[in-house]
Structure 1
Amino acid sequence: MSFACVKRKDNFKTVEQFHFKLDFLILSFFITTNANPLRFLHFLTIFSLISSFHSSFSSSSSSSSSSSPSIHDLLVSRGLPKGLLPKEVKSYTLSDNGTLQVFLDEPCLTKYENRVFFNTVVTANLSYDSLIGVVGLSQEELFLWLPVKDIIVDSPKLGLILFDIAVAYKQLSLSLFEEPPHCKPQGTSMALIKLIPTIMFSLV
């Protein structure tokens, strides 16, 4: 009851202000009810320990969540457009050697200039201005699905980005990648069909 009243009447800007107010209310309660001082001291010690633990946990959670940028912010920090990867990216990992793994819930299809297919896992070596050795990304060219091997910001001043699609290099406008696109889910069978050219080219 006291907590509801405090929450309704006061706007606490920090956790410490709230704990101070709550401590004051507890102290007032024990004084007015003539409670045993030893019991009060024991209770207050336990309460303080719980409060300290809660504050430390909240701080560590906040710092850990803020320390990992989104995949799109990561791309921008490495000189790449954030629209290279779709909004549907679930998570990613980045190792010390630069290996980037991007995870989606399921294979999906989107479009830049042509249609592009993302597998459930997309892997590449991330360096400044480039994604090298891409696996899990294909682009449609003349009704064929060709694997995208490398993506390089070729001429940032000219607003161009280079796609290595195994049989050729293709320059695209960076304006196509200004925002992360929506990616339409694809079935497993369709995903396997689109991956066949990727497997063939990897064996060459």
Structure 2
Amino acid sequence: MVSSLPIILLVLFLVVLSPSSGSPSAYDMLEEFGFPRGILPQGVKGYRLDPDGSFEVLLSGDCEFRVDGGGYLLKYRRKITGKVKSGQLKGLNGIRVKVLLFWFGIDEVLKSGTDLQFSVGPLSATFPSSNFGECPKCRCGSRCDTITTAFGATELVSDS
């Protein structure tokens, strides 16, 4: 019995450290901080959120889609990082927007009432939060169905 104790402790330790299927998704976490889930595209594989608000979101690959209404083209990298607190996403890396012929990094997103303010360097644009109720689907040609349904568990908290 004494020799099996280390094995039992190891199994218990691994169970406690493994992400549970009941963990909130990255989309749920966005809503907890006051943001609509549609500011992230479909297909989040997992995320990490540190106690200081630093985060990392992983997509299955780079993602590109056009935003209706403004005609902006958005590009999300496979890994998105930044810092979050209630109503604020700051220090964003991995999200770019094409305005006319130029690409700019989206640095921060602030929630103000029912609007979202997106900052690109010294410039900003404000849109109603209701524009982001649904998660956009990445443009991926004929492979879209395969890419958006083929997510497995990761070492991060899984959104599947």
- Give runs of aligned pairs for residues 42-53 of structure 1, distance below 5 A: none
- Give runs of aligned pairs for residues 21-170 of structure 1, distance below 5 A: 64-66=20-22, 68-112=23-67, 113=70, 114-154=72-112, 156=113, 159-170=114-125
Alpha-carbon distance in 1 for matches of 2:16, 2:85 = 29
2:103 match: secondary structure: strand
Runs (4 or more) in structure 1 with deviation over 4 Å come to none
TM-score when scaled to structure 2?
A: 0.71
Alpha-carbon distance in 1 for matches of 2:74, 2:82 = 16
Alpha-carbon distance in 1 for matches of 2:80, 2:133 = 20
CA shift in 2, pair 1:185/1:111, >3 Å: same
Deviations 1:77-100 (A, max 9, x none): 110111010111111101111111
Instruction: Report deviation, 1:150.
Output: 0.3
- Give runs of aligned pairs for residues 10-29 of structure 1, distance below 5 A: none
Alpha-carbon distance in 1 for matches of 2:59, 2:140 = 10
Instruction: Report deviation, 1:165.
Output: 0.8
TM-score when scaled to structure 1?
A: 0.56
Q: CA RMSD in A?
A: 2.2
What residue ranges of structure 1 are gaps of 5+ in the alignment? 1-55, 187-204
From the CA coordinates, give the structure whose radius of gyration is larger. Answer: 1
Query: How many pairs does the alignment contain?
Result: 124
Structure (1 or 2) with the greater helix fraction: 1
Alpha-carbon distance in 1 for matches of 2:84, 2:126 = 19
Tell me which amino acid in the other structure corresponds to 1:150. E
